[in-house]
Amino acid sequence: MLIVENLKRYYEGENVTVKALDDVSFQIDSGDFVAVVGASGSGKSTLLHLIGGLDMPTEGKVVIDGVDLYALKEDERTIFRRRHVGFVFQAYNLLPMLTVYENILLPFGLDGEKPSLDYMQGIVSRLGLEEQLDKMPNALSGGQQQRVAIARALVRKPALILADEPTGNLDSKSSAEVVALFQSINREMGHTIVMITHDDDVAQRAGKILRVADGKLV
């Protein structure tokens, strides 16, 4: 499902080269649930952004479901990312002027396509959002907002879900609920998930763990 090969991201500073990610290689199989852990500044978020095509590598290759991400033109990469990669961020990244329903269906609106409403309703039911669809994001708790973000990530049936510190803004109860949702999505729906976290307790709930330190896979 995912091949990361000799991936590097260097930043040139004054008289110094910062190696945010330094020659990282690994593979993830379809249906895996992988946690990437490391201290702040270790390079784990840089890795996630490169896997998702949100940044350009200095060197290296990322292949998702047989597609070489950085062999695509920028507009092609944007379309591929929108259709085949689901993102869940720590800050939720919901649009405050849209309802929950509109936020969930946003990926289809960007492509000018119509969603499968039966599939969308199934996701809404699984995530317990049936009573929230007409509400605005600021009327929801943090845990509910993260559920909306997860629903939005799932609605296009992505090949890969990338979650960047998805429990970072949540209390312990909401955090446990969100991680349990990821486990359920992975186990019952078969989605491949890569989750960045600094919390070892959260990471232990994944099927596999990758550790990053000083830009390297350790």
Convert the pLDDT of each residue in 37-71 to its tens digit.
988 888 998 999 999 998 999 999 999 999 999 99
- The Cα–Cα gap between 78 and 16 comes to 32
pLDDT in tens, 140-175: 988 889 889 888 888 888 889 999 888 887 788 888
User: What number of helices (H) and strands (E) belong to the chain?
Assistant: 8, 10
Provide the token pair at 133.
């669809």
CA distance 146 to 182: 11
Burial 170-180 (b: 16+ CB within 10 A, else e): beeebbbbbbe
Interval 99-114 mean pLDDT: 82
pLDDT at 92: 80
Q: pTM here?
A: 0.87
Please state, in angstroms and rounded to a whole number, the distance separating the CA atoms of residues 132 and 139.
9
* Mean pLDDT along residues 180-197: 88
What is the overall mean pLDDT for the chain? 89
- What is the Cα–Cα distance from 7 to 182, expressed in whole angstroms? 26
Say if residues 38 and 69 touch (Cβ distance below 8 Å). Answer: no
pLDDT of 185 > 80? The answer is: yes
**Can you list the domains of the chain with their CATH numbers?**
2-217 (3.40.50.300)
Contacts of 186 (CB under 8 A, 6+ apart): 31, 33, 192, 193, 207
Contact by Cβ (8 Å): 164, 48:
yes
